[in-house]
């Protein structure tokens, strides 16, 4: 049995659960996501698979 786990869906699942528990956390999660994607884009790492 092989288990392939990608980090993207795992992060999304954890973020979704946290948002359900603490709805005000949504602003922080969205801001962090946008910052990370922006930095990766500026550094030319847009092909990085998360």
**Which of 49, 46, 11 lies closest to 30, judged by CA?**
11
Domain membership flag for residue 33: yes
* Percentage of the chain modeled with pLDDT above 90: 0
pTM of the model: 0.53
Domain membership flag for residue 49: no
**pLDDT tens digits, residue range 11-31?**
778 888 888 888 888 888 888
What value does the mean pLDDT of the chain take?
76
Tell me how far apart the alpha carbons of residues 50 and 9 are, in angstroms, rounded to a whole number: 9
Q: At what angle do helices 7-21 and 25-42 cross, to 10 degrees?
A: 150
Domain membership flag for residue 50: no
**Residues of the domain holding 38:** 7-42
Domain membership flag for residue 16: yes
User: Count of domains in the chain?
Assistant: 1
* Percentage of the chain modeled with pLDDT above 70: 76
29 and 19 Cβ atoms separated by less than 8 Å: yes
- pLDDT at residue number 7: 72
Domain membership flag for residue 2: no
pLDDT at 6 over 80: no
């Amino acid at each position: 049995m092989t288990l392939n786990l990608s980090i993207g869906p795992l992060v999304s699942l954890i973020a979704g659960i946290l948002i359900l528990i603490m709805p005000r956390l949504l602003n922080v999660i969205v801001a962090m996501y946008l910052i990370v994607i922006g930095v990766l884009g500026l550094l030319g790492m847009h092909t990085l698979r998360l």
